[in-house]
Structure 1
Amino acid sequence: MNENGLKQHDRVLTMDTINPHVISVEYAVRGPIVQRALQIEKELKMGMKKPFTEVIKANIGDCHAMGQKPITFFRQVLALCSYPDLLEDKRFPDDAKSRARRILQACGGGSLGAYSVSQGIEMIRQDVAQYIERRDGGITCDPDNIYLSTGASNAIVTMLKLLVSGEGASRTGVMISIPQYPLYSAALAELGAVQINYYLDEDHCWSLDVNELRRALQKARTHCSPRALCIINPGNPTGQVQSRQCIEDVIRFAAEERLFLMADEVYQDNVYADGCEFHSFKKVLFEMGAEYSETVELASFHSTSKCYMGECGFRGGYMEVVNLDPDVKAQLTKLVSVRLCPPVPGQALLDVVVNPPQPDEPSYGTFIKERSDTLAALAEKAAITEEILNQIPGIKCNPVQGAMYTFPRIHLPQKAILEAKEKGESPDMFYCMKLLEETGICLVPGSGFGQREDTYHFRMTILPPKDKLKIVLGKIQEFHRCFTAQYS
């Protein structure tokens, strides 16, 4: 019997009747380690004694939760849009008020509380298109090719839904990088698609080699129908920034093999390393000439959650589609219509991100300083993270060229590996769980992102404030020393 007086067999939905694809979904970024971290936080509040006083969640790219301050202008405009009575308040600058009025005029009934059209508010899509044109040096962007979304994640999953079809050997295969962001593996599992792994080259700063793409593709064609290639640039969890030559090679490969390109570019402002530069796939595609720009199908994604904004909770984002079949595009529009519309406050935030203060406006000076300070702090923390981790015997960390994470390789003693396997855990999960229990630091094991066999990693965000980041790195250093000594 259960709490409602029903026998177990009376339930319609059980583990035997649930959609089996759901059971196969895993999402390491909020997996068992994070669940245990939340439990430990409750234990600390209840007065339970631990070797630490707080849990530090370095597992996820949640900028504001890690102490990053919101951009003043963005929040001013959102406050004005949310409570228009403030438009009479003299504490708000005129440029914030003009932005807010413009956004509200584009909303149904002049309110953020109204639904928008399913593709997103037309004025905001026009602003996004103009932003892309500026970013890409004047290459034309059609607002009708812009789809606003609930963060980038929602748009990525929507595009995968369009791509996945077939059964058995004809099932759609989607190429994803290993290590990868677990959204991709989770979405493919939920949709019943085939995940095609291609490995990034850890020995060369997580670079992408087209020969590895060919190897993975040829192997996959024996059991599925490969149709799409997903790229994350700058990389998550690996923090690499692809060169222009690499992007050109990938585009040629996609054209030769007739693959749909999906470019996840949500960290495009997060580039720190000397000699590295962000190149959008759209820009490179069009600069390669009509042979590619008129044939290669591309969907690219951006978000308000990362870069210098870090506004994860507003769930703002967009997708641009290029060379999409008109009939398929109609189906895409139908599919997004089922969800009515993306969150309108997120759309409003996206508008000020792509249309920030200009040099002749009163908020410009503060905006530029806050933006520059945020990105400079991230660059400094990227360098600190690499430097300190590489001082720890048994840990090797590639340069954090971009994004918000490091994915260092950890050497684990054989005794620890055997104990983990006896417990039915991956060795890096075993390592990260012990780290959490002993230090309060929450990281994500590399096995949740994928890694080459017999290698072990963890993903860690560089987002904590510099002083706290140094404490975190110091605790990892001491823990790794003790862990290695214990299991040697």
Structure 2
Amino acid sequence: MSYNKAPSITAETINQKVRIFTYEPCGEIVRHARRLEKEIYENPGSLPFQEIIYCNLGNPQALGQRPINFFREGVRGLREAVADGIAARDGFPSKPDNIFLTDGASSAINMMMQILIRSHEDGILCPLPEYPLYSASIILHGGTMVPYNLTEDSGWGLEIFEVKRCLEDARASGLTIRAMVVINPGNPTGQVLSITNQEEIVEFCRKEGLVILADEVYQENVYTENKRFNSFKKVARSLGYDHHDLSIVSFHSVSMGYYGECGRRGGYMEICGFGDDVIDEMYKLASLTICPNIAGQILISLVMDPPKLGDEAFEIFMVEKEETCSSLLKRAKALQKAFSGLEGVSCNKFEGAMYLFPRLRLPQAAIKAAQLEGVSPDVFYAHRLLGATGIAVVPGSGFHPVSGTSHIRCTILPGEETITAMVPRLQAFHEAFMDEFRG
């Protein structure tokens, strides 16, 4: 049995609630004013006036600044810096008009779910184990999460036949699949997708008419010699596909990487393959939050346009960056070695992001003890670990791995001295735990 591929993303196929509502202070008149201002900037003298006078908002400005500086998708000059950074990274052009600066990646992800999801009959493909933001935002916006499993035995790789099976089953149940979420490097699993895997995903989504929602917030956190980060946009363009062939939304954030500025709330999404009619609706939706914070906008522009060779700050920037990345890798290796040496625990090689996701094979007596307490085995283990050592990890069940398996997610972020002190405590606890429940 065959099913039609997903409809292309147009103003007619997005969530119609977004189209129906109006917000005239930033409505069509203002959008047209922005287009005219761009025309004035690019072609001086082409219009019978030399400036746009914005009388649309009650937005007091200090020091003579005009409201135009607070475009709802982000300050123009900062979007240009982000676009230049993307182009330098990928080797393909990026347009500032396709960049939305946001209060972190989370708000961008929520906006896209609000745009794509029309009802519970719309599904979004998501990886398992997953980052719970995706399932939560899909549910909150009334859609249906369609999970596909990553394969632990192949280093949390993505098998395209598994995704195809999930897509076909979902369509057979009556769902319309709008998009596929891919997290690369992975959270919580810490893998980096191979270029071959990415090419398979691009071909699959192009054929099936799916939007690729590319969570690329850990793009600076790659720690394996035989892989490097490649954006999905770069992969698609390298295959010869442009915006007419495939829709891709890439998310990035200042919270991750070697910078780790979580409290600054800076991020962006780059929209590729959406028409101007959809971009206008997204602008209207973004207008409801007035504008992303300026400090976050500035910081994400600096992340994408860091000091370059010849700049005064270049040498110290590179020293600090290398020190941070080298230390993160050292910490990851120490924790991976520790987990891999524990009885009944396996831990895939750390490749990227900030987490290890070791699997626990616990004694049956421990599993029964967890059942008596009404919790899953990984929650039981994590509680005991915290109570005995003060080490707080996240039970893997919160990320929905394959049923019947137990994991924990452990960040690599504690300092080197802290991890050195932590490892013996972890080892002693685990040995005592296994002895207690060995039976």
Short-chain TM bin: 0.7 to 0.9
- Which position in structure 2 is the counterpart of 1:118? 72
Of the candidates 154, 167, 172, which is equivalent to residue 107 of structure 2?
154
Q: Which SS does the other structure have where 2:268 is aligned?
A: strand
User: Which residue identity lines up with residue 218 of structure 2 in the other structure?
Assistant: Y
User: Which residue identity lines up with residue 236 of structure 1 in the other structure?
Assistant: N
Matches within 5 A, 1:428-447: 428-447=378-397
Q: Which SS does the other structure have where 1:442 is aligned?
A: coil
User: Which residue identity lines up with residue 225 of structure 2 in the other structure?
Assistant: D
Contact 1:151/1:305 (<8 A) preserved: yes
Matches within 5 A, 1:60-459: 109=62, 116-137=70-91, 139-167=92-120, 171-221=121-171, 222-290=173-241, 293-459=243-409
> What is the rounded CA distance, in whole Å, between the counterparts of 1:351 and 1:462 in structure 2?
26
> What is the rounded CA distance, in whole Å, between the counterparts of 1:375 and 1:335 in structure 2?
37
Contact 1:265/1:300 (<8 A) preserved: yes
> What is the rounded CA distance, in whole Å, between the counterparts of 1:477 and 1:111 in structure 2?
62
Deviation at 1:363, TM superposition (A): 1.4
Deviation at 1:111, TM superposition (A): 10
Normalised by the length of structure 1, the TM-score is 0.75
Q: 1:111 to 1:209 in 2, by over 3 A?
A: farther
Deviation at 1:191, TM superposition (A): 1.5
- 1:209-261 Cα distance to aligned partner (Å, 9 max, x none): 10110111122221422111000000011010011111010011111111111
- Which position in structure 2 is the counterpart of 1:66? none
Matches within 5 A, 1:49-68: none
Q: Which SS does the other structure have where 1:340 is aligned?
A: coil
> What is the rounded CA distance, in whole Å, between the counterparts of 2:176 and 2:399 in structure 1?
23
What is the count of residue pairs matched by the alignment? 377
User: Which residue identity lines up with residue 141 of structure 2 in the other structure?
Assistant: L
Contact 1:108/1:116 (<8 A) preserved: no
Q: What value does the CA root-mean-square deviation take over the aligned residues?
A: 1.8
User: Which residue identity lines up with residue 220 of structure 2 in the other structure?
Assistant: D
Deviation at 1:359, TM superposition (A): 2.2
Q: Name which structure has the greater RCO, CA cutoff 8 Å, separation 6+.
A: 1
> What is the rounded CA distance, in whole Å, between the counterparts of 2:64 and 2:339 in structure 1?
49
- Which position in structure 2 is the counterpart of 1:51? none
Moved over 6 A (4+): none
> What is the rounded CA distance, in whole Å, between the counterparts of 1:433 and 1:385 in structure 2?
19
Deviation at 1:166, TM superposition (A): 2.5
User: Which residue identity lines up with residue 414 of structure 1 in the other structure?
Assistant: Q
Normalised by the length of structure 2, the TM-score is 0.83
> What is the rounded CA distance, in whole Å, between the counterparts of 2:125 and 2:198 in structure 1?
15
- Which position in structure 2 is the counterpart of 1:62? none
> What is the rounded CA distance, in whole Å, between the counterparts of 1:439 and 1:468 in structure 2?
13
Deviation at 1:293, TM superposition (A): 4.6
> What is the rounded CA distance, in whole Å, between the counterparts of 1:280 and 1:195 in structure 2?
24
> What is the rounded CA distance, in whole Å, between the counterparts of 1:389 and 1:473 in structure 2?
9
Gaps of 5+ in 1: 1-106
User: Which residue identity lines up with residue 159 of structure 1 in the other structure?
Assistant: M
> What is the rounded CA distance, in whole Å, between the counterparts of 1:487 and 1:416 in structure 2?
6
- Which position in structure 2 is the counterpart of 1:466? 416
> What is the rounded CA distance, in whole Å, between the counterparts of 1:473 and 1:343 in structure 2?
40
- 1:37-64 Cα distance to aligned partner (Å, 9 max, x none): xxxxxxxxxxxxxxxxxxxxxxxxxxxx
> What is the rounded CA distance, in whole Å, between the counterparts of 1:322 and 1:466 in structure 2?
40
Contact 2:82/2:96 (<8 A) preserved: yes
Contact 2:132/2:399 (<8 A) preserved: yes
User: Which residue identity lines up with residue 117 of structure 2 in the other structure?
Assistant: V
Contact 1:445/1:458 (<8 A) preserved: yes
Q: Which SS does the other structure have where 1:286 is aligned?
A: helix
> What is the rounded CA distance, in whole Å, between the counterparts of 2:208 and 2:325 in structure 1?
38
User: Which residue identity lines up with residue 295 of structure 2 in the other structure?
Assistant: P
User: Which residue identity lines up with residue 249 of structure 1 in the other structure?
Assistant: E
Tell me the percent identity.
40
Contact 1:317/1:346 (<8 A) preserved: yes
Q: Which SS does the other structure have where 1:457 is aligned?
A: strand
Deviation at 1:108, TM superposition (A): 5.6
